[in-house]
Amino acid sequence: MSSTNYDYLDGNAAAGELSKVFAVDITTAEGRCGECGTTKCLAEAHLYMHGPGLVARCPACEHVLLRLVNVREHMFLDVRGMTYLRLDTSRSEEAS
């Protein structure tokens, strides 16, 4: 079952939403897909954001890497689909 619908964006498009809660841009972080092991930046994920929430999927196997839902003043975040996210802390103390 493959898709020929090009209704997804890049993980880059989630950067605005994620900036509400993360001080660093996690879309440049490398993540490893928990299903197939593909390792890429979150910005390279296939991003579906037209529905009740945002879903980032592995570009290789479409496994759900990350899900995000805004509920009023809270954000629900599920990152279980990634074995890890590798975040760069070297610039975290610089002024943006």
Partner 1 sequence: MWRVGTVVALHDETPTARTITLQVADWPRHVAGQHVDVRLTAPDGYSAVRSYSIASAPNAEGRVELTVERLPDGEVSPYLTQELAVGDRVELRGPIGGWFVWRSQQMEPIQLIAGGSGIVPLMAMIRSRASAGSSALFRLLYSVREPGGVFYRDELQAISDGVDSVTITYAYTRAAPRDWPRPPGRIDASFIAETTWSSKLIPTCYVCGPTSFVESTAALLVTCGNRPDKIRTERFGPTGGRNEFH
Partner 2 sequence: MGTISRGFFGRRTVADVKLPPGQYLTTDFPVLSAGPTPHIALEKWEFTIDDGTNVLRRWNWKSFRELPTENVTVDLHCVTRWSKLGTHWEGVSLDTILGEIESDAEYAMVRSYGDYITNLPLADLRNKQAWIAFRFDDEDLAPEHGGPARLLVPHLYLWKSAKWVRGIRLMHEDQPGFWESLGYHDYGDPWREQRYSGDE
Kindly provide the b/e burial profile for residues 38-72, where b requires at least 16 CB atoms within 10 angstroms of the residue's own CB. Answer: bebbbbbbbbbeeeebbbbbbbeebebbbbbeeee
Report the nearest approach of partner 1 to the CB of residue 34 (Å). 21
Structural tokens at position 88 = 């760069």
**Residue labelled with tokens 């592995």:** 58
The answer to the question of residue 78 lying near partner 2 (CB under 8 A) is yes
Residues 27-86 that bind partner 1 (CB under 8 A): 27-28, 41, 43-44, 49-50, 52, 54, 70
Q: Please, where are the H alpha helices in 1-96? A: 15-18
Choose which of 74, 89, 94, 96 interacts with partner 2 (CB under 8 A): 74
Report the nearest approach of partner 2 to the CB of residue 5 (Å). 4
Report the nearest approach of partner 1 to the CB of residue 38 (Å). 11
User: Applying CB under 8 A, which residues contact partner 2?
Assistant: 1-5, 7-8, 46, 48, 50-53, 55, 57, 62, 64, 67, 69, 71-72, 74, 76, 78
